[in-house]
Amino acid sequence: MELQDKLLKIFRETNALLSGHFALTSGFHSDSYFQCALVLQDPKYARLLGELIGERFLNEEIDAVIAPAIGGIVIACAIGDYLDQKNKKGLRVIFTERVDDKMALRRGFSIKKGEKVLVVEDVITTGGSIKEVIELAKNGGAKIVGVGSIVDRSGGKVDFGVRKEVLVTLDVKKFTQAECPLCKKGIPVDKPGSRKK
């Protein structure tokens, strides 16, 4: 069984791969939703996923791992912990939050000029949040080493202009609200993400 199939099995066993009618953080609607928090609540799976992504960046010099809140925080910590243990370098793990609908660094976090940064997210749909984090980090003078994610729902179509490492790549259907067949059928919509649209 290949890695992607093994990981999808874990998602199903932890009820983290949901079926229904969902409004995604991106604003699109879908009949599938990856609730990575349900996988990451188990430390053994958080460690496993962090190691699998971190391993792919072991040969890179990384000063900080940065993620958009909320979904990317746990996996960013797991990746940062793995890289820190392997490289013994003392990297930081920080996250961005939305302030007036824009990504921002809060809680005393900052980007240092010349810092080498790995951007991490749990699920990529359109890549909007990651693109905002990349822009924020670049504006702070950082060099983007790459992007790491557990799931890419775009089928690999989203391009960040930097190296991207993803564990599960699927082309999951998404619809605008106006063209959503589930809305047309009157099926109630669930908004499980961290940002309400």
pLDDT digits (tens, 9 = 90+) for 68-97: 999 999 999 999 999 999 987 789 999 999
All structural domains of the chain, each given as residue ranges with its CATH number in brackets, are 3-184 (3.40.50.2020)
pLDDT in tens, the chain (197 residues): 599 999 999 999 999 998 899 998 878 899 988 889 999 999 999 999 999 999 999 999 999 999 999 999 999 999 999 999 998 778 999 999 999 989 999 999 999 999 999 999 999 988 999 999 999 999 999 999 999 999 998 999 999 999 999 999 988 888 999 999 999 999 999 888 655 54
Residue-level pLDDT at 89:
78
Q: What are phi and psi of 29, to 5 degrees?
A: -110, 155
What is the model's pLDDT at position 195?
54
Paired strand residues for 97: 104
E strand spans, 35-76: 64-68
Task: Give the DSSP letter of residue 93.
Answer: E
Which pLDDT score is estimated for 197? 44
> Cα separation of 22 and 189, whole Å?
5
Q: What gap in Å lies between CA 66 and CA 81, rounded to an integer?
A: 13
Report the C-alpha gap between 104 and 114 in whole angstroms: 19
Residue 148: what pLDDT?
A: 98
Where are the strands (E) in 134-183, listed by range? 143-152, 164-169
Element (H, E) at 29: strand 29-34
| DSSP classification of residue 126 | S
pLDDT of res. 1: 59
Cα separation values, 73 from 14, 15, 117, 173, Å: 19, 20, 15, 26
